[in-house]
Structure 1
Amino acid sequence: MGHEEGISLNKYISATGFCSRREADKLIEQARVTINDELVLPGARVHAGDRVAIDGEPLKGAAKKRPIYIALNKPVGVTSTTDLKDKTNIIGFLNYPKRIFPIGRLDKDSDGLIFLTNDGDIVNKILRASNNHEKEYIVTVDKALSPEFVAQMGNGIPMLGTVTRKCFVRQEGGRRFRIVLTQGLNRQIRRMCEYLGYKVVTLTRVRIMNVQLGDLPVGKWRYLSPQEIDKMNALVATSAKTDEENRPAKKKAPGKPPHNIRKK
């Protein structure tokens, strides 16, 4: 097995709530931790089905908490909601045996890639990491594209009281284009097309960040690979940092208190 697979032993132990990662390192160094009844060195990795024990006592809880990351090719007509009252909800469609929820949205009348997980932490990171969070779509419209349409879509369109961010747009056929967004305004692509006098006929999301839809058939799902999950975590980590760094410093007006001091 490649060394990228599995989860590091100290992280696995801390994920059960037994102790911190640093304390787990000490236990491993003191030769008190076994995997499948064998003593292990620091840097060992835990794989699905492994039995981890500390001082001979099996570690409980980690298996239950193992994060699930699913990539689904959502069909048209399925709604990205966990509301079970909505008969078209994505949870009922997937019918997965454990509790999971979608990350972000994909319109009911769009199809393509959407993630589902039980890891609330990554959901927050992905939704916060607005830059670096590329989503790529293939779109067909109701009439032939013009060079002006492609240029305007890429340069920004006024909608919902703002102007869409500049983005990558490339024509791929008479009525088909590819677009990469780093923001997710409500029904953004449809509204952008409508502004320019076009109507969306089909809209398929083919990539989220580093994960491609590939040849996953409509309505089918797969688990993300450990490599995909590692890369995604790295992207959202650097993205969250750059979000902070890129935030413009607020200039203080002369004679006024700084913006972060509240008046009593």
Structure 2
Amino acid sequence: MIRIQKYLSEKGMASRREAERLILAGKIMVNGKVERTLGTKIDPAKDRVEVLGRRERRAILLNKPEGYVVTKGAKEGQTIYHWLPKAFQNLAYVGRLDKGSSGMLILTDDGVLASHLTAEKYAVEKEYEVKTQEDVTPAMMQRLSGGIRLSDGLTKPAHAMKTGKKSFQIVLVQGKNRQIRRMAAAVGLTVVQLTRVRIGDIGIRNLKPGEWRVLAFNEINLFKN
């Protein structure tokens, strides 16, 4: 059993303080009946809780395969939405991956979540594994970590680490268009494979390319908090 305020907070539908105001205002329904008592507990597995005038926001995590675009306008079978059921076709991607890249992609209809994931002021880390055509050197990693001057400005400091003769790992807190490919090119590297493996504290785990899962309430709150 869990208090309604905590349940709504974990669902990302309202802060605990806001939930208290909604309860007192008669805006919360439990199993079709208005609930006005603070501290009432519900069973999330059995009880249906609604906020009048609001709908539950959704967020999923997709392991995007290489070779698919994130836009809906592409030919059938060439877009990431090919992998998603009808119920999730209206979700928008957050933090695009280009056609040649793969890995973690979050899709949601939660504008607050999308803002926290993309706005630079929140500095949410995105970790990538990169394979290159040329050999990687420590000097290259030092340059990538310190920031690279691109056509649209200087990149923020990153954390780049060599992981193999022709591979490296990089963690960014911003998302310029094709940023890693352009940064790599600036130090003499050609990217041949790019995979996003982590966003914030959430990793790709055991999701195979093309597989997806719903983000848990506590995972969504990790980004919002």
1:220 aligns with 2:214: no
CA deviations on 1:98-124 (whole Å, 9 max, x unpaired) are: 421111211110000010112123223
Alpha-carbon distance change, 131 to 22 in structure 1, aligned in 2, over 3 angstroms: closer
Distance across 1 between alignment mates of 2:127 and 2:94: 16
For 1:74-223, list aligned pairs within 5 A: 74-83=64-73, 88-98=78-88, 99-223=90-214
Partner of 1:254: none
TM-score normalised per structure 1: 0.70
Q: How many residues align?
A: 218
Partner of 1:26: 24
TM superposition shift of 1:232: 0.9
More RCO (CA 8 Å, sep 6+): 2
SS in 1 for 2:99: coil
For 1:16-95, list aligned pairs within 5 A: 21-26=19-24, 34-35=30-31, 41-42=38-39, 44=41, 47=44, 50-52=47-49, 65-83=55-73, 88-95=78-85
One-letter amino acid of the structure 2 residue matched with residue 122 of structure 1: L
Alpha-carbon distance change, 150 to 34 in structure 1, aligned in 2, over 3 angstroms: closer
One-letter amino acid of the structure 1 residue matched with residue 191 of structure 2: V
CA deviations on 1:200-222 (whole Å, 9 max, x unpaired) are: 11110011112211221111001
Distance across 1 between alignment mates of 2:58 and 2:66: 24
TM superposition shift of 1:173: 1.3
TM-score normalised per structure 2: 0.80
Q: Report if aligned partners of 1:111, 1:204 keep a CA contact under 8 Å in 2.
A: yes
One-letter amino acid of the structure 1 residue matched with residue 44 of structure 2: H
Distance across 1 between alignment mates of 2:139 and 2:145: 10
SS in 1 for 2:164: coil
CA deviations on 1:22-67 (whole Å, 9 max, x unpaired) are: 5433267xxx965588x765263573662348xxxxx7766xx221
TM superposition shift of 1:131: 4.2
Q: Which one has the largest radius of gyration?
A: 1
SS in 2 for 1:232: helix
Distance across 2 between alignment mates of 1:42 and 1:145: 58
Alpha-carbon distance change, 2 to 45 in structure 1, aligned in 2, over 3 angstroms: closer
SS in 2 for 1:7: helix
SS in 2 for 1:172: strand
Give the unaligned 5+ runs of structure 2. Answer: none
- Residue identity over aligned pairs, in percent, reads 31
Distance across 2 between alignment mates of 1:217 and 1:5: 33
TM superposition shift of 1:85: 5.5
